[in-house]
Chain A
Amino acid sequence: MDRLNPLRSVLTGHDLTFLAGVPFVYHCHHYNLFHDQTLDDALGEELGAQVRFRAARSACSELLRALGSVLGASTPPERAELASLLLPWMGHGRIALSTSNTGGEATGTHLHYGFSWREKYGERVRREAPADSFAAGFAAAACEFIEGLPGGEIVATEDQCIALRDPGCHFTLRRTGRAETSAPVVDLAATEGLVGATLEGLDEARIAAIAAGLRDFVKGVAGDERGVIAAFGVFVTMHLSNYYNETIYEAIHHVERSQPALLPVAETLFREAGVQCVFNTFGNMLLSPEWEGLVGAPSGDPFELLSSCCAIARGLGFGHWILHEYDPGKRLVLRAPVDYEVPFYLRRYGRSGKPRCYVLQGAALAMAVLAHQVRWRESPRLTEEFYLSLFRGKVAWAAEQTLCPTRGDACCEVVVSAR
């Protein structure tokens, strides 16, 4: 941690966060599981796992190579040490790698997806496919990194997974000899070239101060002896934005091509992941002793709550979210110069004909609901039952993204209106 923490940076005015120039954000297991689940719904288990694995291998490879370069990890033992340190530090569990230039194997414990899936769903349903495509991608990227192989030559298969009720997670690594065509890199340098001017909104001074405090706070957060970050009642991960973005947009584009009539369904589900994020991560942060110590307990004032959510978003690396307009109880306009989704879309796919900030859309809706329908002074428990009471059926608020830089607009804008 002492070596990695100084490599964090923030793109000033945009609140996008980077580690050794590679973009990252914080997300909890509720978001992560819903995100991966939606990929499988859209693509099927087999293709879904492939897309997740490729995106993870690509994003992890960028990070490992960037860290290796900055930290001077030039020999295989140094690179292996760095790889084994990184995953638990980010809250993804531990992985033991045994590699050669033809592949090898990896054994995981408390790997984020399998571990948290078993915790959340394991008693309710039986899973048929392994859960840890992200760790598989990491293991493959780590093998390439340690052995000095070209990117994309190693494939990893998870042949045991705790989500399948196996005693642990195990991966077989195999060299294919076929390097994958590299896609345009989305890093700090590329992002700087894609963002415009920053913005200011309502309650700016308070939001900026809290966001700065939160960023300092999360610098001290790292995986425990299991490689797990258990905080705010959720399992938190420091995660690679490029993984989220590549998987979402590959799935969305697949649905656009193969079943266009179901595109609104896929988009609604990816927005729903954003709702889950705000309800679980933002909500539990607001109710935490740490928040009370840093900011004070929520007073129940909707405007204060919305302002706090913007600060959390900035602190977690989601972007420079601002409250552009607020008409109490009626309308909220949330803006950001870009969120963490936009630079990726522009760099990889160019202009879009429609708004593409699915996490922002879901988050804005959830912020309005949390601000107006939760009695914060009563310290509610943010349970699944409470979630369903707020978001099952017709929700009292509706969100629409009206501006998006992916289609040439000057900023992201989501308008949330009371129904």
Chain B
Amino acid sequence: MSSQFLDRIAEDVPSLRTAFITAMPDCLLFASWQTKESEVDVEEVAAYFGDLVRSNRQGLKALKTWSSEMQVTIESADSLIILRELNADFVLGTIFERSAPLGMVRLHLKRMVERVTAQLPKVTIAERPRGARILEFLERYAPDPHAILLRISLRTGITPEEFQTPEKLSAEQIVRLEEAACKLLGLKQLNL
């Protein structure tokens, strides 16, 4: 996805170092912007903070206090990080300089949210194949990620070549893949 629309919105915001939009529920980077000085691996950051928002969302729902306006603020040593749910499908993440006044940051963020929300594409996000989502989940969380495709292949009997086109895996192969993934990760089920 082109990040040009985010560039236009973010570049004039004072004290803003990085902005990224994470597509939910897969926590994949949708668009990003950062200053020249910033050296953030935005794909990684988008994935981790997407997970955080998902956990936060589920926790708040369990507490029956969730609302669609949910916002997470993290104050670290040199950054002020704010994660804001735009809608069910997108989360806006912003990283400001720590010295920026919180009131100004909130004001700028409010304006950013309005402009970003207005420019998000009006498309229905297609459900990605479950096999692909399971494999991505494994690559992110399983031990020895560099070997995970081979390990899961040996466990399921599905060849690495078949994993190259996960959308073609049969329902029975998906069941085997999911069972093996649960076993490797020590989970009862995968909530993907």
Contacts and interface: CB of A to CB of B under 8 A. Distances in A.
Nearest to A40: B155
A269 B143 contact: no
A266 B143 contact: no
Interface in A29-58: 34, 37-38, 41-42, 44-45
B147 A269 contact: yes
Contact of A391 (B142, B146, B159, B187): B146
A44 B180 CA distance: 10
Interface in B71-96: none
Interface in B133-192: 141-147, 150-151, 153-155, 157, 159-160, 183-187
Contacts of A265: 150, 153-154, 159-160
Interface string A83-110: 0000000000000000000000000000
B145 A125 contact: no
A3 interface: no
Interface string A272-285: 10000000000000
Contact of A266 (B141, B154, B159): B154
A419 interface: no
A392 B143 contact: no
A265 B184 CA distance: 17
A388 interface: yes
Nearest to B186: A126
Contact of A261 (B145, B147, B159): B159
A391 B145 CA distance: 11
Contacts of A120: 143
Contacts, number: 54
A269 B154 contact: yes
A78 B150 CA distance: 47
A393 B157 CA distance: 22
A392 B157 contact: no
Contacts of A127: 186
Given A124-B141, A126-B185, A388 B146 contact: yes
A126 B187 contact: yes
A259 interface: yes
A42 B141 CA distance: 21
Nearest to B153: A265
Contacts of B187: 126
A257 to B, nearest CB: 14
B186 to A, nearest CB: 3
A269 B146 contact: no
A128 interface: yes
B146 A262 contact: no
A349 interface: no
Contact of B155 (A41, A124, A392): A41
26 contacts: A37-B144, A37-B151, A38-B151, A41-B154, A41-B155, A42-B154, A44-B155, A120-B143, A124-B141, A124-B143, A125-B184, A125-B185, A126-B185, A127-B186, A128-B183, A262-B154, A262-B159, A265-B154, A265-B159, A269-B147, A269-B150, A272-B147, A387-B146, A391-B146, A392-B145, A393-B146
Interface of B: 141-147, 150-151, 153-155, 157, 159-160, 183-187
Given A125-B141, A125-B142, A391-B146, 13 more contacts: A34-B144, A38-B154, A41-B151, A41-B155, A120-B143, A124-B143, A125-B143, A125-B186, A126-B185, A128-B186, A265-B150, A272-B150, A387-B146
Interface of A: 34, 37-38, 41-42, 44-45, 120-121, 124-128, 255, 259, 261-262, 265-266, 268-269, 272, 387-388, 391-393
6 interchain residue pairs of minimum CB distance: A126-B186, A392-B146, A41-B154, A41-B151, A125-B186, A121-B143
